[in-house]
Structure 1
Amino acid sequence: MSKKTPSDLQFSHFGLYVRDLPRMAAFYKQALRFTQTDAGDLGTVQLVFLSRDPAEHHQLVLATGRPEALPFNVVNQISFRVPDIATLRRFHDRLLAHGASDMHPVTHGNAVSIYCRDPEGNRLELFMDTPWYCEQPLREPIDIAQPDEAILAQAEAIAKRFPKFMSRAEWQAEVARRMQEDQRGD
């Protein structure tokens, strides 16, 4: 399947206000292996630019200025795709070793994910797509220590319980068709 989107609008990067810039930069560099591409001041705001893709100057920017007493974090989650369960397991262990908290391995049927919180409480999701589609939202716990085959079998069994279960390829073709229809009005 082509990675091209039917739209001229593509997501590029995300920025977070942080309280402790050195701690947060270290977490993302050590736990998730981002590379710092730049850093500096913009007026009174200090910035750190991070990327895992040499084609992107930054995929994540951290900026000073997050208030100490925020009653609510408006960022629901920041999600990262990984290629397989072995990589998901490896990052699970790295995240825990570098200060992530509130760790939850789950399946959505169409993905296997781990959710956790970074050192300032922002929710992260690392996920691996499965070959299936099923209606969302769906979230059921899994044991990430199980063999890959057992995790995938559990994810498939959960996905198959839903009436719109289909292959990811079928779902992608349907969504591509709908997106083309939505773009016709431009």
Structure 2
Amino acid sequence: MASPAPILYWFDFVCPFCYVAQQRNAIFGRRGLDVVHLPFQIHPEIPVEGVDAGLRTGPMYATLEREAARVGLPLNWPTRLPNTRTALAAAEWVRRRQPDLSGDFNQRLYAAHFALNEDLGDIAVIERQANEVGVDLSALRAALADGTASASLVEAESLGAQFGVRATPSWLVAGNLISGLLPPSEFERLAEEAVARG
């Protein structure tokens, strides 16, 4: 039987649904499915200096808090929302150039935002997280400075647009676009179908 096609996954570090979706991707991983993490800036309107986040109250936020707690992810709502363009460009560059470090780098950027309340719009935060996982900092800095990393991000977003991505998190599973944080049981079903299709 042929190996299942990789699952394409579009995310943004500022998206709390994507933060919780790390557990949904783990479901695919446990089934031996390859998940390709592709950045997609969902709020390009946020200025480079970021914006105040405002209050996080209501049923949606309560649900996210329960989901995060259930899967062991600390969730301390950030006081500000950053412009994630540079962080996403860095993530895509790392995925392409040092793929073995990509997963850890992404996890650290999520944690910086949602657990530590650090500003992902600050290049120093991005570089510190990159350094912690062993990313070649001089090469990353060069790619961010010369536009190489940004161009890679544009390619990832363009691919998403071709498949109809308009929100994060979004997955392309066996040719079907799935958007939103569906229950874990639904991801178990999707994983089973993807494995069965081969």
TM-score, normalised by the number of residues in structure 1: 0.31
Higher relative contact order (CA 8 A, sep 6+): 2
TM-score, normalised by the number of residues in structure 2: 0.30
> Whose helix fraction is larger, Structure 1's or Structure 2's?
2
> Whose strand fraction is larger, Structure 1's or Structure 2's?
1
